[in-house]
Structure 1
Amino acid sequence: MTVATTTEVEERHSREAIEAEIAVFEQRVHQLRRGEITEQQFRPFRLKHGTYGQRQPGFQMLRVKVAAGVLQPSQLRVLARIADEYSTGRGHLTTRENVQFHFVKLEDVPAAMRLLADCGLTTREACGNTVRNVTACPVAGICPGEAFDVTPYALGVSRYLLRHPDFHDLPRKFKIAFSGCADDGGCSVAGIHDVGLIAQVRGSNGTARRGFKVLVGGGLGSLPTESAVLTDFLPEEELLPTIEAVLRVF
């Protein structure tokens, strides 16, 4: 199996492509308001763009993906602006390292999306039957017990899968988590995810190789399922092809 090239990935995330995506969302909102499409037709579309309906008529919950839980100061300022201008002045941090804003008017969602795009954030695929936010240990990079910092790997996987044409209409939502050490229970809890990756180092004396223990099939919900070990050691260079293969089987 051949993974997408760097050029293909970057084209999906170009500012032009993102603006076109937001423009389509804006158009669908206008169609909904004019009665040209029904709420049932609009629902799966808005969910793929991170927009949940609320019980209160006319309001939405907007979910922002924060890959690996990493935010820059400039991004925090944008989130604060969205909270003040379009929400209730506050945001909600989730267990999947997202930020949610409640009581957002549907007509204001495109403007919020554009602010997010300008600072490198998105609501795309934060809801619905998609690859949800890729999470990582909250102390990745500074944990004394980690095999190595998993943050770059989580960010890379997130960027590769975001807007992938084959993975935004899955049978169900799909969750991925990275952990830097064997003490995963107090960290990102990789074992309760569809794909959980625990950092491993094999070899020594100049032959050390980075890789991951790969867990698959975990989940909570109404029928909690313990994950199974796909492999005890997956070399880092096989990470993307393996995750893509699991998604295609899923």
Structure 2
Amino acid sequence: MMISPENYCEEYLREKDAKQILSIIRGLKNEMSHLKNIMEHPDYGTESKVCPSESVRLSCTREYLERAKQALVEVGGTYNPSRTELRTLDFISNVNHISKFTFSIGGFFGGYNTYIADLSGNELKFESKQGEASTPMKVFNKDGEPLTKESFLEGIRKLHMGEWKRSYSPERFGHMVLDGTQWEIEIEYDNGHRKVRFDGDNSYPYNFYDLQALFGVEEDCEN
């Protein structure tokens, strides 16, 4: 059972000095990294599920971390963001300037499917491509309503893509996979921000299925 951010503050942050809070922050960041590694492992999902799930624990820990940073400032401390955190802040601050989001996934034998979200106009437009053939797509939210530009961008924010690694491979877990599934993402902006790219070879970010769901794509990868 995870406790609320309010109860976490009361139990773990109240009456702590800056040095103690910084130590708590380091622990929370390590816990987040640990949970992501669990969910990104090639064997994740093959064992019995735990409750609360790693996903729920990660979400709560992220909230605890933000409360801890706030508590640090309140006691007069200074928090220096890591390089990854600065990259995350940069990604979030530029989400509204995304003009095109291209997501490709597939394999050598089955071919590749490319899904494109065009945000350059007032309305969101989707298309799918396989080879040279291009087809307009309609993507819907959980309520069955057409996905809007605003709801798509909000979905991107919730993915915390600024925290993602630039490239994913099962080799970091000591696994080697031949062929299988490869994927690639390219994000373009309308404000001069450089393009952002992610890719993977039989290895995926912990919330990759959420990205697929945002595009209305069936889960055709193994994680």
State the TM-score, normalized to the length of structure 1: 0.27
Higher relative contact order (CA 8 A, sep 6+): 2
TM-score relative to the length of structure 2: 0.29
